[in-house]
Chains A and B, each alone.
Chain A
Amino acid sequence: MPLPLLVPAVVAVAFLVLPLVGLVVRTPWSDLGPQLTSPGVGEALRLSLVSATLATAVSLVLGVPLAWVLARSRIRGRGVLRALVTVPLVLPPVVGGVALFLVLGRQGIVGRWLDEAFGLTIPFTTTAVVIAETFVAMPFLVISVEGALRAADARYEEAAATLGADRWTTFRRVTLPMVAPGVAAGAVLCWARALGEFGATITFAGNFPGTTQTMPLAVYLALQRDPESAIVLSLVLLAVSLATLLLLRGRWLGRAGAAP
């Protein structure tokens, strides 16, 4: 192997892996039990898992149809549409949080109407957490599913049409099952992104233990107060992420990678 490639590659591995090793090394293993069972941790973890899962569900329900529109429809301005909906991918999450606040906050365009008409207030609730996470994570799912749809052979859909299937039936019975690995891969990416979401959440939903304080927020807060507890919380997040990766890699991601 040529050195100009090998050396940077080794440095890259060290750069990516060493911090995680450092985290494991610095973990106060003897103190782990009490730290993990302290009330705040369980609460934050549960909130994180529930809101990330809800955000992924919302992303699936809305994002898969959006991906289909981007990949299969012949509407005009598709390129512009794709650029628009992927903005959250590159947007700093804090900016996303501010934008959500301006729209859905009490004085926001939609928020004021929701407040007056239904008495609904979104900011600083668990709903706000899910909305913030969905905003940031859904583009990952859309991009992933759109890629899978583009890679799938559209002639199967033509074959379905000659067998009497309208486009909705074709989507349900042919397209979706054929891109299922891509959808699963997109959902995992989306879930992982939602789980780690920090900026948009703290801006739009605040940092209230029990309702909006997810794991990343808890880690940030703990680091200022009690570094040991921050390490433990980080370790939990690392474990959850690794477990997700290992659990799904063999079953879905591996197959998605092998698909043409």
Chain B
Amino acid sequence: MELDVDVADGEVLAVLGPNGAGKSTLLRVLAGLLPPDDGRVEVDGEPWDDVAAGVHLPPHRRRLGMVFQDHLLFPHLSVTDNVAFGLRTRGAGRREARAAAAAWLARVELADLGARRPGQLSGGQAQRVALARALAGDPALLLLDEPLSALDARTRLTVRAELRRHLGEFRGSTVLVTHDPIDAMALADRVLVVEEGRVVQAGAPAEVARHPRTDYVARLVGLSLLPGTGEGTTVRLDGGGRVTVAGETAGPVLVAVRPESVALWPVRPEGSPRNTWPVRLAGATPHGATVRCELEGEVPLLADVTAAAFAEMGLAPGAQLWATVKASEIAVYER
């Protein structure tokens, strides 16, 4: 894994990538739990790692807070003592640390659970305590390792909203590692997409979501990504077929199509728009209130249709259909 990252004070950087892409390795290096093979880690002008100069600050001397996927709250300590732990190790007295911990518990709205053991908390509560524990030591760097992925869908929603609020108030830098694009989009100021140990895309979340550069990112954000070559308002796709777009383009480009902008027809539509392609239904999965259809053909696409329309057309895998997309609904950008 090799990368070059800068995170400003108050900024939240999300590192997004598939499992095994090296995201956790990055966090372990930043935390000092894993010495890097080469390179530098510097926070607030203080070198934490500098392989060339032989510098390696051990984890406990770094001003950082870390939240783990499975919270790792100490099972033998009360919730308050868990949150007070970092304050105690950094020299605070017992009473002072407990008072500060209680204040932090109040901030994550768990003031009345301080006497409990971590085993008596729900998943969402435990993760909020873990966040309070990480922030209580006033770290310069906050590391979040898949903080929401162990939670069920509904809890994830509320904890994500709360996490967003706390990250907004946090003055230090945050690095969030996740494989969930929604976490990245909702929490980060900037997204770094890593695949196989290198950065394949970096940018603002909205930009990454609109203009994915690799199939992995496109699939994550639910777009169909079609590489091709721009020739005026036409893009000749690498896989064959043509797409008409609204603006003029030239040279290698990427075409991104949102599934909800694709319409499906059992027969070729009359006076059809120029972007009309024959497709074959390869698969269909429920997706919220709609059905996400995977389409094969010269132009492979994803299409969202309402469950009612899906039933009306009597769709089944293997069905031959026509897909249309308005030129104005298609995003095209340089490769």
A residues at B contact (CB < 8 Å): 153, 155-156, 158-166, 169-170, 173-174, 177-178, 180
Q: Are B74 and A156 neighbours in the complex by a CB distance under 8 Å?
A: yes
Q: How far is B85's CA from A160's CA once the two chains are assembled, in angstroms? A: 8
Which A residues are in CB contact (< 8 Å) with B197? none
Q: Are B59 and A158 neighbours in the complex by a CB distance under 8 Å?
A: yes
Q: Which residue of the partner chain, among B32, B75, B137, contacts A163 with CB atoms under 8 Å?
A: B137
Q: Number of A-B pairs whose CB atoms are under 8 Å?
A: 65
Interface residues in B197-220 by Cβ distance below 8 A to A read none
Which B residues are in CB contact (< 8 Å) with A180? 76
Asked if B8 CB lies within 8 Å of chain A CBs, one says: no
Asked if B163 CB lies within 8 Å of chain A CBs, one says: no
Asked if B268 CB lies within 8 Å of chain A CBs, one says: no
Q: Which residue of the partner chain, among B33, B60, B62, contacts A166 with CB atoms under 8 Å?
A: B60
Which B residues are in CB contact (< 8 Å) with A155? 68, 72
Q: Are B76 and A159 neighbours in the complex by a CB distance under 8 Å?
A: no
Q: Are A161 and B58 neighbours in the complex by a CB distance under 8 Å?
A: yes
Q: A155-B68, A158-B33, A159-B66 are in contact. Are A165 and B74 (CB under 8 A)?
A: no
User: Can you show 22 pairs from A to B with CB atoms below 8 A apart?
Assistant: A153-B72, A155-B72, A156-B74, A158-B31, A158-B59, A159-B66, A159-B74, A160-B60, A161-B33, A162-B59, A162-B60, A162-B62, A163-B85, A164-B86, A164-B89, A165-B85, A166-B89, A169-B89, A170-B60, A177-B74, A177-B76, A177-B77
Over the window 33-64 of chain B, the binary record of Cβ atoms lying under 8 Å from chain A Cβ atoms (1 yes, 0 no) is 10000000000000000000000001111101
Asked if B147 CB lies within 8 Å of chain A CBs, one says: no
Q: Are A161 and B72 neighbours in the complex by a CB distance under 8 Å?
A: no
A240–chain B nearest beta-carbon distance, Å: 31
Q: Are B89 and A162 neighbours in the complex by a CB distance under 8 Å?
A: no
Q: A156-B74, A174-B74, A177-B76 are in contact. Are A162 and B85 (CB under 8 A)?
A: no
Asked if B65 CB lies within 8 Å of chain A CBs, one says: yes
Asked if B133 CB lies within 8 Å of chain A CBs, one says: yes
A115–chain B nearest beta-carbon distance, Å: 45
Query: Which 5 pairs between the two chains have the least Cβ-Cβ distance?
Result: A163-B86, A161-B59, A164-B89, A162-B66, A159-B72
Q: Are A178 and B85 neighbours in the complex by a CB distance under 8 Å?
A: no
A217–chain B nearest beta-carbon distance, Å: 41
Which B residues are in CB contact (< 8 Å) with A174? 74
Q: Are A178 and B137 neighbours in the complex by a CB distance under 8 Å?
A: no
Q: How far is B59's CA from A165's CA once the two chains are assembled, in angstroms? A: 8
Q: How far is B77's CA from A170's CA once the two chains are assembled, in angstroms? A: 13
Q: How far is B89's CA from A64's CA once the two chains are assembled, in angstroms? A: 23
A180–chain B nearest beta-carbon distance, Å: 8
Question: Chain B residue with minimal CB distance to A177?
Answer: B76
Asked if B287 CB lies within 8 Å of chain A CBs, one says: no
